[in-house]
Structure 1
Amino acid sequence: MAAFGPRKAQRLARADGSRKGGLDERAAPVVRLLNGQSRFCTTSSCSGRLVLVQGRAADADSFEIQKKGCIWLLVTHEPCSRSEVMTALEKATGDVVLKFEPFVLHVLCQELQDAQLLAVRSTHCLEVPLSHRGKLMVSEEYIEFLIHVANQKMEENIRRIDRFFKCLELALKNSVSANNSLEKPEKHCPVYLHRRKRKTIQQQGVHPPPRGPPSEELEPEDDVENSLDIFAEIMI
């Protein structure tokens, strides 16, 4: 797509519209790695966070949090304590939910095969209602338990980001190597050299000497198959 380059440049030139106004430190290496490739463009990211979100008071039969007009009572990208959560809950006047949201990354890709390289999904999240119409509906002991679970998820999330970066870096290098090999088959695949030599001999009217036993020379099809096996191993 010829238009992908200008679209990427235009996208990256925009001002950061996130609440924070800049990249999360832990997400930055992955974002920079992808944007350094001509075929990718990141549009938004979050390294993972724990939030207390207050929505408008719901009906008695529903505990749905309204996203529009919601208030963030607490947001942190680090493990937090019970005291931080309880202090934030004191300001609650509506329905409050405690959430842990893992690392998320949205990326524009030039080709379908580029998107397939990045296809990763996770269910590493947590969402629990805590209060209704400003009234706390669970015990402080339960809140402490939830925070412990959320902090464990945060620590695992940090490890996953590091693992994802290393795997992505390796996959991109292997992808470039595979493309380079496929673009220059005559220099790297013996079957083409063999065919060209045989064609030259036939044109000159020279009969080649008898071949040795079959085990002394691979058939062209065998060479191609072995070459393709190399690329099968790099897919993730």
Structure 2
Amino acid sequence: MDDRFLQWKKQCMSKIDLSKKGSVDEDISDVVAFINDSENYFTTSSCSGRITLIDGVSEVQKKDCNWLFVTHQKCQSADVVASLARAGGDASFRFEPFVLHVQCRRLEDAQLLAVRSTHCLEVPLTHEGQQLVSGDYVSFLVEVANQKMEENFRRMRRFYDCLQSAMCAEQCHSPKVTDAKAEKSVYKRRRRQAQEPECDSHKDDTSSEEDGALESGLHLLL
């Protein structure tokens, strides 16, 4: 399974980015790089969050939709209004939070990244090319979407901090790290025993028992 996972990861990392933008969004690039540097994960797609205006919205045939406006930052209502004038069908204004699609080595690894959010916005603005709302309402929607984008960036930073802490804790309790600590403990004990006077046999026995318990405790953490 490990060999297969590494092969999948290598193949995915070598593929050409087929997204509309053709590259990882700058605001999520650190998170993506951190995940891909881990031996247990790799990303298959990502988005730092976006505000869009799409004509002919269809979840089934999104590739056939007309993207009138898209940004991964906060936007200006004038830009949205200008883009809305080009709508010829059913156009919807959307805010979508950051998203990460991640391939995981094991089920336990997937549980570490099991995160969901309902921090979204979707409002229809035209029907068959006819605008359904006023310019003031579009400005209001843009203000709401910009607030959501700010909150999105805060959540993404918080997610990154929590992910780093969780992975660090996981690595500290991994068999490789634990075995290394145990080996270091044994080395220190043997070195200390070699330096202690041979006449104090009772002290040596006590020290040996305590260190043996410590070694056993370390192995219990596996």
* TM-score, normalised by the number of residues in structure 2: 0.79
Structure 1: state its 5+ residue gaps. Answer: 57-62, 194-207, 209-216, 232-236
- Counterpart residue type for residue 69 of structure 1: D
Corresponding residue of 1:174: 169
Corresponding residue of 1:143: 138
TM-fit CA distance, 1:67: 2.5
Corresponding residue of 2:104: 109
Corresponding residue of 1:199: none
- Counterpart residue type for residue 72 of structure 1: W
Consecutive aligned runs of 4 or more in structure 1 exceeding 2 Å deviation: 63-68, 180-190
- Counterpart residue type for residue 156 of structure 1: E
Q: Secondary structure at the match of 2:125?
A: strand
Corresponding residue of 1:198: none
Q: Secondary structure at the match of 2:173?
A: helix
TM-fit CA distance, 1:52: 0.2
> C-alpha distance in 2, partners of 1:112/1:141?
48
- Counterpart residue type for residue 7 of structure 2: P
1:164 aligned residue (159, 165, 179): 159
Corresponding residue of 1:75: 70
Larger deviation, residues 180-189 vs 15-24: 180-189
Corresponding residue of 2:45: 44
Deviation per CA, 1:161-198, whole angstroms, max 9, x where unpaired?
A: 111111111111111101145546855999xx9xxxxx
Say if 2:120 is the partner of 1:125.
yes
Query: Counting helix residues as a fraction of each chain, which structure ranks higher?
Result: 2
Deviation per CA, 1:68-102, whole angstroms, max 9, x where unpaired?
A: 51100000011111101110011011000000010
TM-fit CA distance, 1:53: 0.4
Larger deviation, residues 130-139 vs 1-10: 1-10
Corresponding residue of 1:13: 14
Q: Secondary structure at the match of 2:159?
A: helix
Deviation per CA, 1:131-184, whole angstroms, max 9, x where unpaired?
A: 001111011121111111100000011111111111111111111101145546
- Alignment length (residue pairs): 199
Q: Contact between 1:55 and 1:66, CA under 8 Å: does it hold in 2?
A: no
Q: Secondary structure at the match of 1:52?
A: strand
Corresponding residue of 2:207: none
> C-alpha distance in 1, partners of 2:181/2:63?
56
Q: Contact between 1:35 and 1:42, CA under 8 Å: does it hold in 2?
A: yes
Deviation per CA, 1:203-227, whole angstroms, max 9, x where unpaired?
A: xxxxx9xxxxxxxx9xx7xx85xx7
Corresponding residue of 1:27: 28
> C-alpha distance in 2, partners of 1:186/1:89?
65
Deviation per CA, 1:42-62, whole angstroms, max 9, x where unpaired?
A: 100000000000007xxxxxx
TM-fit CA distance, 1:3: 1.0
- Counterpart residue type for residue 10 of structure 1: Q
Q: Secondary structure at the match of 2:119?
A: coil
| Percent of matched pairs sharing the same residue | 47
Q: Secondary structure at the match of 1:26?
A: helix
> C-alpha distance in 1, partners of 2:47/2:63?
20
TM-fit CA distance, 1:110: 0.7
> C-alpha distance in 2, partners of 1:172/1:184?
18
